[in-house]
Amino acid sequence: MDTFSTIRARGMTKSFGDVIALDGVDLDVTQGQIHGLVGPNGAGKTTLLGLLLGLAVADSGELDVLGTRVGRALAAPDGVAGFVDGPGLYPSLTARQNLAALAALRGHDRRTAGIDEVLDQVGLTDVADDRARGFSLGMRQRLGLAAALLTRPRVLVLDEPSNGLDPAGTKHVHGVLTRLAADGTSVVLSSHRMDDLEALCSEVTILSTGRVVFSGPLTELAPGSRELDYRLRTSDPQTTRRLAAARGIRVVDGAAPRHDADLLVVRALVPALDELVVSLVQSGVALRELAPVVSPLEAAFLALTEHKEAGR
């Protein structure tokens, strides 16, 4: 499938009084891409999502969505749907009635609006006739996603879509977003959950104090020049310690639970860690677990945003 740019922002700025929320932000999202927005509280993520949804207009800069320049009117660009700060719902109405009301507001016939289809997509068929006031946070998030899907958007903008979801709900929503992207929908999502972003996104933009400090593929955040801590579980911890020390890899004592004797936490560069794994295999030591204590995305996020905050 040929892809094209569905979102192109250049030099976007937005201030609220004396507070600069966005300061020269660029953003590129291609068709069928799931693009993550990452940043500490107050970094400008919600403001940027609001601009994409037509809830606010930029003070300066250019924003093209689906090939059309976004003007000064407060209106969602055609083909764009989503929510910021949680979906707006009528608590006294059922899930089905909420979607029917939304369809009616848009001039659609509830009988042909695809309500049952989107409820099934987000896994709410069994509670379709329950009132929204009794929904958990995760169920409300899923209903908000269903409302966005009613318009069959070509660009979907979501703020913390996995907020309040249990593991099964998270897996379900991930499946929905992955299928939408495979069918050509572009998804822009903000999340504080690095595992969500790493599971879903091909590219991320990291914001700090209203500015972009990184934008690109997740693979470019690989910690090639930084030591990270890794959980390392093997069949022979003593031999593992010896082989690690021989390669200058430090075991971080006290970092692993005392009751888990097979688990070590080691601090290493990726090349040294690769050599250790080869040595373990050659020595007949079984490798049972190897995972970063902090994900590469989270490590990069902390390094980039802490550096930016320190230089303010």
Are residues 153 and 53 in contact, defined by beta-carbon separation less than 8 angstroms? no
Alpha carbon distance 195, 170 (integer Å): 11
pLDDT, mean of residues 82-106: 89
C-alpha to C-alpha distances, 104 to 98, 113, 119, nearest whole angstrom: 10, 9, 17
Residues 34 and 81 in one domain: yes
pLDDT, tens digit, for every residue of 156-186?
Answer: 999 988 888 888 889 999 999 999 999 999 9
- Give Cβ neighbours of residue 44 (< 8 Å, ≥ 6 apart): 14, 21, 22, 23, 25, 207, 209, 210, 211
What CATH number did the domain enclosing 176 receive?
Answer: 3.40.50.300
Backbone angles phi, psi at 143, to 5 degrees: -65, -35
- Which residue among 193, 217, 241 closes a domain? 217
Classified as helix, coil or strand, 257 is: coil
The alpha carbon of 15 is separated from its chain's Cα centroid by a whole number of angstroms, namely: 25
The pLDDT of residue 309 is above 60: no
Q: Which pLDDT score, from 0 to 100, does residue 176 have?
A: 93
Q: Which pLDDT score, from 0 to 100, does residue 10 have?
A: 96
- CB-CB neighbours of 181 under 10 Å: 20
- Which residue among 217, 243, 272 closes a domain? 217
Residues 152 and 200 in one domain: yes
What CATH number did the domain enclosing 247 receive?
Answer: 3.30.70
Confidence of residue 135 (pLDDT cuts 50, 70, 90): very high
- Which residue among 217, 241, 268 closes a domain? 217
Q: What tokens does 170 get?
A: 């998270």
Instruction: Confirm whether 303 is domain-assigned.
Output: no
Structural domain for 245, as ranges: 228-297
Residues 293 and 150 in one domain: no
Instruction: Confirm whether 180 is domain-assigned.
Output: yes
Question: What DSSP letter does each residue of 3-27 carry, written as one string?
Answer: --EEEEEEEEEEEETTEEEEEEEEE
3-state secondary structure 187-225: EEEECCCHHHHHHHCCEEEEEECCEEEEEEEHHHHCCCC
pLDDT, tens digit, for every residue of 36-70?
Answer: 999 998 899 999 999 999 999 999 999 999 988 88
Q: What tokens does 151 get?
A: 């318009």
Instruction: Confirm whether 308 is domain-assigned.
Output: no
The pLDDT of residue 93 is above 70: yes
- How many domains are contained in the chain? 2
| Helix H or strand E segment including 228 | strand 228-234
Instruction: Confirm whether 222 is domain-assigned.
Output: no
Instruction: Confirm whether 97 is domain-assigned.
Output: yes
Q: Which pLDDT score, from 0 to 100, does residue 1 have?
A: 41
The pLDDT of residue 239 is above 70: yes
Q: Which pLDDT score, from 0 to 100, does residue 225 have?
A: 59
Confidence of residue 224 (pLDDT cuts 50, 70, 90): low
